[in-house]
Structure formats: C-alpha cells, structure tokens
Amino acid sequence: MRVRFTSIVWEDVAEEARNALRSLKDRAASMRSRNYGSGVDAFLAVIVAVDEEDNARLAKPYNRLGMDRDADGKEFKQLCVAVQLPPSCLTGRTLAELTSLFAAKIAQRLAGAPPRVPKGFDWISFSADLRATLGAGSADRP
C-alpha cells in the first residue's frame, strides 16, 4: 500500500513541515509491499496548520475516499485523512520534535476509522501497522 504525507501550512514553516513529513514517508516505505485487502490503493495524511478559523475549511476536502491520478495519469483509489493543528505548535521545534508531533497526531487520527472505508479494506490492521511504523508515542500537546 502506498502511504503518502503532505501539508497545508504557512510558508514560514513549510520547509520544516516538508522535512518532517519526508521522514515519516521514509518510515512508512516498508508498508508499500503490504496488502490490506481491496478498495484502497493509497493512503494520504494531510497536516493542516494555517489558522484556527480556516483549518476546518481547508481540511474538509481531504477527509474522504476518492480517485486520484499519479504522474503517469493512472487512476487509483485513495483514502485521505486530515489532521488539524494550531500553527503556533509548529514554530520553534526541531526536526525531530516536529516529526514526533506529526507522527503522534496522525496516530491519534488513525485511532478512529474514517466515515467511508471500503468493505474489502482491513482498516484495523492498516491503521495499527501505520501507527507502529511511524513510531508514534503519546501525542505532544500543541
């Protein structure tokens, strides 16, 4: 299963967020060969940390199951979840701290199943494996 991460954040912290998410992507690379059943080809976690008022609006389109296209134009089914954070919790952190924060918050989000999970997809195993792969401990409080 392909596991991806991205973010919608202020430009001031965009590079740090990208580096932290790149670290999570490297951790999750081992999941690419795992099979969790049918109905989902890829998983995308989106960190949204713009401001308290806009986070929910910006996160909403990413909490879904839908079709996406790769760089070659091939369609695939992707399950997306958004994780909302106050932007203030991203500033002043080291790369390791930011990576740990993202891993913990994504793990928290994975604790509950999204509204739409295909019948043939093993959400419980997938979410448990991803939480373990990310090495998420208890979530830091923003």
Is residue 136 pLDDT above 80, yes or no? no
Is residue 138 pLDDT above 90, yes or no? no
Q: Average of pLDDT values for 17-29?
A: 95
What tens digit of pLDDT does each residue of 46-62 get? 999 998 889 999 999 99
Per-domain residue ranges of the chain: 2-134
Write out the two tokens for 53.
């008022």
Q: Which of 48, 42, 77, 76 is nearest to 62 (CA)?
A: 48
* pLDDT-based confidence at residue 114 (cuts at 50, 70, 90): confident
Q: What is the Cα–Cα distance from 37 to 139, expressed in whole angstroms?
A: 29
Q: What is the Cα–Cα distance from 21 to 23, expressed in whole angstroms?
A: 5
Report the relative pairing of strands 42-49 and 64-69 from DSSP bridges.
unpaired
Write out the two tokens for 25.
């992507």
Residue with tokens 């996406």: 68
